[in-house]
Amino acid sequence: MTNPQHADATGEDDPTQIVLRSVRLSAAPYLPPPVLNAIHITDSYLHVNHASFSSTYCHSEPSVSMLSALFSAYVVLRLIQGLQFWWTSTTKRSTAHLSGEEDAVLSGLSQNNKKRTDNKSAQDDNMPSFDETVVLCGASGAGKTALLHCLCTETDGDSCQPPMTTTSLVANVAYMNVTSSDNADEETKHETEAVRLVDYPGHPSLSTKLTSLLLPDQTARVVFTVDATKPVTDGVAILYKSILTNNQVRKAWKASGKTLSILIVCTKEDDKKAKNHKRMKIQIRNELDRLRKVDSAMEDVTGNGSTPMSIAKGKTIDLDDLGPDMPVLHFVETGLGIQGGDNGLKAVREFVRTGDLI
């Protein structure tokens, strides 16, 4: 690969030009001919038609200069993202254990209409009293935080415009009144406890810590979000490993004599690429079956803290009846961008407040 060589006004190459030329000559033997040809054509064109720009701003090596600038911009972008990730993970304390000293850490979602218990000394001054905890979980990007915002921001017509959200490594906590603000009288509102909503991050590295939140002494029920525009693999893996086959979760709920109720919310139904909840249900069942078969094929399944789902040979998982001592699954779809129609929020709110569906 040859390009016209240019010297500066003193007749000597400047240091930047020497470096860029060395990079070009060093890389040339490893580049395919079409790339070499494109670089040659680009350099020749700029040397002939934009000689002043080429020599002044590109140090007579236009292609290498532009590629170096793009690479430098990419490195700077990744560096900024890394610093942002580090700052987020080190300046915010984890809310995974959710002790009694927790505050509502999600800005703008803690409700002002709070009811305090008689034992005020047992409560932090900034934290509402609450009867139950509902955990929102699922894979990263499944719409948990957007759903949390809309659940705690009740507006006329049940419409919602969630804010832009980003992947987080800490749990968000918010509170929602148990009694609907549309139907409760003033006295009932004043006496009604709140429900604490915990938006647990979906980062894979935190999935093992989710178990402590799913025990019957910690949560009353679970809202599990699945992105209806994407494959269900990541979300179903969390559902299967952290809930359905987790020894600690299953034994604790069995010992309590209660049944864990899980609402699977198929989010982003307002997107044209979204699959409806019936199709999502089939895909979730198929993926659960695949994971179950993998577990069944393993010789030692007791050392990984899981208990495979017991299904008769040749049968598939029935999501409407998983079997004794297993959670109960409900399905609903939400589309937060749907205007003038049912976006699914009413059903999710009812489940959060009472555990029932409408």
140-187 residue pLDDT tens: 888 888 888 888 876 555 567 766 666 677 788 888 887 654 454 555
Least confident span in 48-52, 100-104, 271-275, 320-324: 100-104
Average pLDDT taken over every residue of the chain? 76
Residues 6+ positions from 181 with CB-CB distance below 8 Å: 154, 189
What is d(CA 89, CA 252) in angstroms, rounded to the nearest whole number?
A: 31
Q: Are 159 and 220 in contact (CB under 8 A)?
A: no
pLDDT at res. 113: 35
pLDDT in tens, 66-104: 888 888 999 999 898 888 767 655 544 444 434 433 333
Q: Which overall architecture, per CATH, does domain 129-180+192-354 show?
A: 3-Layer(aba) Sandwich (3.40)
Q: Sign (positive/negative) of CA torsion 15, 20, 21, 25?
A: positive
pLDDT at res. 109: 31
pLDDT in tens, 176-222: 887 654 454 555 444 557 888 888 888 777 777 788 889 998 899 99
Could you tell me which residue, 228 or 190, shows the higher pLDDT?
228
Domain boundaries, the chain: 20-81, 129-180+192-354
With a cut of 90, say whether residue 262 has pLDDT above it: yes
pLDDT in tens, 99-130: 433 333 333 333 333 333 444 434 444 567 78
Helix (H, G, I), strand (E, B) or coil at 32: coil
User: Residue 81, by phi and psi: left (phi above 0), alpha (psi -120 to 50) or beta?
Assistant: alpha
Cα 342 to Cα 170, 270, 291: the distances in Å are 31, 11, 34
Cα 87 to Cα 84, 91, 170, 209: the distances in Å are 5, 6, 12, 21
With a cut of 60, say whether residue 35 has pLDDT above it: yes
Quote the percentage of the chain above a pLDDT of 70. 70
* pTM of the complete model: 0.62
